[in-house]
């Protein structure tokens, strides 16, 4: 008799109705997820009306930047709360883990992988905290899993995500993303250039006046790989006389190049963190959204058993051909544009090769990936045999149970965040109106 296919590997349309025993967890997820959103975004509204606006008005009149500093710290705290909400609802209702591999001279496991006394991985200590993060895009949950990954890199308070403009005015969630200062794009360079220039200038200035980290998340494909987008990518590749991706779409390089050229002169030690994400159960040439959605993961209870993550890190000044930058002009020469476009396509060709390896071996890691010393997994020992010596497991769970308070914006953590973060000013000069 043939072995039954795992539920996560069965297309959503072919799955049986949700079993009754899942109903309590499904209702718990709906309650926690929605109440958490209301609390986080309600706290945002409260802080904006009763703290941020008054302080910015008063200190702005005095020519001081203290109001801006408090504004920035409260935005950072609210991002942390939202990330923790995503993480704790995953931990409670759809538990899974990251299976991480890495390669390159800038990612040495002995320096990056941090364990507690029990051998459990508690963080990833990247050599820089100034990043443009680029990833392939298979499912809508990519952004939440990426945010959770950056929690373990201690960057979850400082992320900025480029999103579709249509999401900007979604009730509650869209308003919250505006408070987070995420960047909304129309997917047309003619419409997006001014928006991107304004937002990147703000991020550049933010890095110049403080030592705060930065993680700008970009999905260069611009959309999910799907039955609708696959032919569009193929048609454009044929038109340009280049090869289309097999598991990825052709990346759009214009916005990425503009972002790197805008940030590089103003953000010291800027790097590109290149992430490849793969999900078990999605077959070769399959479409991730047919297997994983917010509903199927959180409500139905069919999360990926693990989220495969492969990391590469590039120093922008050393490794990325962004061309010569003229401080008096944003124009890019055709030669520089072509070189960067080729570099981007090479990164996604590499991702296709990683997917080929993943479908052949079950791992994104190759011979060029670093071996990682220590136990592959601690929290889920039964899965240890499914990890190679070039992978490490990170259960997606809170590092401290007290972080549940922040996830649901209990006032105590908020007050502590304000006192310990804002009032220390994090080396920002408050004597001038920045």
Domain range annotation of the chain = 19-95+401-434, 97-396
Q: What is the pLDDT of residues 344-357, one digit of tens each?
A: 999 999 999 999 99
Separation between Cα atoms, residue 52 and residue 412, nearest integer Å: 18
Residue 385, class by beta-carbon neighbours within 10 Å (0-12 exposed, 13-18 middle, 19+ buried)?
A: exposed
Q: Which residue has the higher pLDDT, 2 or 247?
A: 247
The pair of structure tokens assigned to 362 is 């079950």
Bridge-based pairing of strands 271-278 and 130-135 is parallel
Determine the pLDDT at residue 189. 73
* 3-state SS class at 410: coil
pLDDT-derived band at 9, boundaries 50, 70, 90: very high
What CATH class is the domain 97-396? alpha beta
Determine the pLDDT at residue 324. 87
Determine the pLDDT at residue 352. 97
Q: What is the pLDDT of residues 56-79, one digit of tens each?
A: 999 999 888 888 889 999 999 999
**CA separation (Å) from 369 to 156, 308, 400?**
26, 14, 31
Determine the pLDDT at residue 228. 92
Q: Which residue has the higher pLDDT, 421 or 185?
A: 185
Res. 156: pLDDT tops 90: yes
Q: Which residue has the higher pLDDT, 216 or 420?
A: 216
Determine the pLDDT at residue 327. 74
Q: What is the pLDDT of residues 191-229, one digit of tens each?
A: 788 888 889 989 988 887 788 899 999 999 988 999 999
The pair of structure tokens assigned to 392 is 């490490």
Res. 296: pLDDT tops 80: yes
Q: What is the pLDDT of residues 251-267, one digit of tens each?
A: 999 989 999 999 999 99
Residue 387, class by beta-carbon neighbours within 10 Å (0-12 exposed, 13-18 middle, 19+ buried)?
A: buried
């Amino acid at each position: 008799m043939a072995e039954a296919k795992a539920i996560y590997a069965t297309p959503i349309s072919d799955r049986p109705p949700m079993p009754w025993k899942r109903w309590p967890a499904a209702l718990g997820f709906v309650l926690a997820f929605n109440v958490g959103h209301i609390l986080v975004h309600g706290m945002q509204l409260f802080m904006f009306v009763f703290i941020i606006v008054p302080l910015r008005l008063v200190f702005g009149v005095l020519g001081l930047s203290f109001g801006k500093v408090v504004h920035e710290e409260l935005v950072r705290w609210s991002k942390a709360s939202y990330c923790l909400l995503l993480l704790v609802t995953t931990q409670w209702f759809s538990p899974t883990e990251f299976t991480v591999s890495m390669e390159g001279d800038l990612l040495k496991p002995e320096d990056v992988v941090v364990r507690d006394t029990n051998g459990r991985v508690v963080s990833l200590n990247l050599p820089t905290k100034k990043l443009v993060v680029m990833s392939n895009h298979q499912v809508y949950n990519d952004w939440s899993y990426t945010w959770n990954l950056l929690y373990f890199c201690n960057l979850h308070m400082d992320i900025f995500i480029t999103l579709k403009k249509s999401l900007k005015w979604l009730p509650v969630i869209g308003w919250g993303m505006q408070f987070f200062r995420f960047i909304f794009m129309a997917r047309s360079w003619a419409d997006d250039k001014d928006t991107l220039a304004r937002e990147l200038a703000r991020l550049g200035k933010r890095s110049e006046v403080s030592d705060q980290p930065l993680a700008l998340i970009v999905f260069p494909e611009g959309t999910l790989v799907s039955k609708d987008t696959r032919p569009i990518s193929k048609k454009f590749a044929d038109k340009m006389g280049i090869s289309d991706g097999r598991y990825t779409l052709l990346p759009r390089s214009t916005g990425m190049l503009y972002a790197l050229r805008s940030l590089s002169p103003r953000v010291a030690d800027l790097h590109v963190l290149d992430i490849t994400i793969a999900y078990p159960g999605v077959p070769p040439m399959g479409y991730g959204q047919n297997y994983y959605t917010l509903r199927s993961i959180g409500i139905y209870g069919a999360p990926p058993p693990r989220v495969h993550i492969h990391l590469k890190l590039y120093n922008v000044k050393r490794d990325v051909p962004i061309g010569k930058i003229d401080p008096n002009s944003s124009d890019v020469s055709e030669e520089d544009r072509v070189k960067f476009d080729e570099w981007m396509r090479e990164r996604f060709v590499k991702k296709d090769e990683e997917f080929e390896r993943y479908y052949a071996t079950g791992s994104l890691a190759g011979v060029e990936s670093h071996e990682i010393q220590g136990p592959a997994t601690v929290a889920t020992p039964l899965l240890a045999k499914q990890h190679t010596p070039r992978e490490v497991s990170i259960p997606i769970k809170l590092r401290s149970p007290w972080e549940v308070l922040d996830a649901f914006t209990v006032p105590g953590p908020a007050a502590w965040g304000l006192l310990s973060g804002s009032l220390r000013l994090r080396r920002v000069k408050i004597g001038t109106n920045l």
